[in-house]
Amino acid sequence: MKVFFDARQLGHAPTTYFRRGAAMPHQEQPQRAEILRDMLLANDFAITAPADNGLDPIKAVHNPDYVDFLPDAHARFVESAGPDALAIPTMHPGLRRGKEPKDIHGQLGWWMTDTSTPLTAGTWDAAYWSAQSAISAADAVAQDARASYALCRPPGHHAMRDCANGFCFFNNACIAAERLRKTYGKVALIDVDVHTGNGSLDILYARGDIFFVSLHPDPATYPTFYLGHADETGEGEGEGASLNILLEQGASQDDVLAALDRALEAIRGFGAEALVVSLGFDMAADDPLAAVQVYPEGFAEMARRLAALDLPTVLVQEGGYLGPSLADNARSFLTSFREATR
């Protein structure tokens, strides 16, 4: 299994964000990727630096104006607000009627939906190379690799077409799926991060060529809220090509595996020719953002069931935070998937 990661992905280093009305330490830390990288090296995974495929594959998924906003946004914010201010939006356009402003503070609110994506000096390079890792992983599969893994950090599945959200700037999984469409007629994207793949749902909702399925607790009562309800099944050409499988908060490992089986049955019914997995280890029972109860052996079984689809597969890292079992969960899933796809 080919693995892609670039050290520049460690450069995004947020310290705090606002959650439930209070400032708290940011969960999406560079150390997450360092733990996963070290686990990979300790288990004989060769890590390859991604190729630089430029902005076109990113702009194929995201609003080009949003992409162009990001490279110098942090520098512009610091120039306006000073080096000690937190680069998050403090005003929003409501229902998005209106026009993008020119002022950096207004632009932050235009292009970001929440306070979880503060910009830092290294954010642009990290987000850019995270996307490039996903693109290279997709290219490896399109060139006949059975499977690949993109150690994407920052993650991506909450990023919508034209805004950052939920720790995410570019939707790496959708970028990979779009890249695979150059080779395969039908692609499936399954999201097994504990949170709704709301960004992927936003991007793919009207498409019939990429089937999207997400396993997550009910968004009526659990972040990221708003999107991911069971009755959201797609629209237009995408009608029937989106599937949200809701879990109870506190769901057991067996419950999660049963939901996964439903998702896999739907992917088979779609006739997918290639697969992208939004892989979140925050399904873990001891994850700092835990909502369900999956353990290392459960991640291994998830890997075996996904591999049994027997599809060219790109694994794209999403959540999984600094809980005690992060390395164990990643080892269980990735070594099991590697063994099942040899």
Residues 6 or more apart in contact with residue 19 via CB below 8 angstroms: 115, 116
Question: Over 80: is that where the pLDDT of 95 sits?
Answer: no
Torsion of CA 180, 147, 275, 187, to 10 degrees: 20
Q: Over the stretch 78-93, which tens digit does the pLDDT of each residue have?
A: 999 999 999 999 888 7
Question: Over 90: is that where the pLDDT of 124 sits?
Answer: yes
For residues 201-219, average pLDDT: 97
Q: Over the stretch 293-304, which tens digit does the pLDDT of each residue have?
A: 999 999 999 999
Q: Which pLDDT value is given to residue 96? A: 63
Token duo for residue 111: 């292009």
Report the percent of the chain where pLDDT is more than 70.
98
Q: Over the stretch 248-296, which tens digit does the pLDDT of each residue have?
A: 999 999 999 999 999 999 999 999 999 999 999 999 999 999 999 999 9
* Coil, strand or helix at 164: strand
Residue whose C-alpha is closest to residue 154's, from 118, 114, 189, 196: 118
Catalytic residue IDs: 158
Q: Which domains can be identified in the chain, with CATH numbers?
A: 2-63+121-340 (3.40.800.20)
pLDDT class for 36, splitting at 50, 70, 90? very high
For residues 152-175, average pLDDT: 97
pLDDT class for 97, splitting at 50, 70, 90? low
Q: In angstroms, rounded to a whole number, what is the distance separating the alpha carbons of residues 216 and 255?
A: 11
